[in-house]
Amino acid sequence: MTEAQVSTLISAPELASKIRELGARIAADHPGKPIHLLGVLKGSFIFMADLARAIPAEVSCDFLRVTSYKGTQSTGDVRFDMDLSEPIAGRITVLVEDIVDTGTTMDSLLRVLRARNPEKLLVCSLLQKPSRTKVKVPIDYLGFTIPDRFVVGYGLDYDGRFRNLPYVGVVEGM
């Protein structure tokens, strides 16, 4: 499979403009306050890097890793592979996800993180597939809603491939 088989759904300029808007909103909603970003690996790493730079405020970053997906079908089974390196108690935390599909991953993560007593626990997701929702989760900052297609690029993968595409695209034939 080559890059030629991926068609663009959201272009690099569209991503950049939306992320500038999200970053400005996050800062404006918390004037003068430091923002602690929690990136869900691996899918959010590119979005997180751009979002962090788009927030005109004091920003710190941490990462966690869960496994919830095999191939293109959600298993609904979330396993923590890597935990945060710092406490989130008393901090304004923003959980940064690449995509909310069924909502299962985000729902599990929010339960665990809420129990750690952050001052605020907000969700920022680049993408959401509303037609696939199984568990409703609050998304405070959303980039784009997309149709029920399997997407890759800008951090999102298909079995480990395509994360480095600078746009979000659909793999032809899927």
Q: What residues contact residue 126 under an 8 Å CB cut-off, 6+ apart?
A: 15, 44, 47, 97, 98, 99, 143, 144, 154, 155, 168
Bridge partners (DSSP) of residue 8 are: 169
Least separation in angstroms between CB 158 and ligand IMP: 7
101 assigned to active site: yes
Residue 84 has phi, psi (to 5 degrees) of -65, 155
Residue found by looking up tokens 């690029």 in the block: 153
Question: CB of residue 4 vs ligand IMP: minimum separation in angstroms?
Answer: 19
DSSP 3: G
Q: Which of 50, 81, 98, 101 is catalytic?
A: 101
Give the residue with the Cβ less far from ligand IMP, 54 or 106: 106
Cβ atoms within 10 Å, residue 138: 9
Query: Whole-angstrom Cα distance, residue 64 to residue 80?
Result: 8
**Chain contacts with ligand IMP (rule: CB under 6 A):** 43, 68-69, 74, 97-106, 150-152, 156
Least distance to ligand IMP, CB of residue 90, Å: 27
Q: b vs e for 78-114, b when ≥16 Cβ sit within 10 Å of the residue's Cβ?
A: beeeeebeeebeebbbbbbbbbbbbbbbbebbbeebe
Nearest to ligand IMP of 92, 99 (CB atom): 99
Q: How far is the CB of 114 from ligand IMP (least distance, A)?
A: 17
Catalytic residue positions, numbered: 101
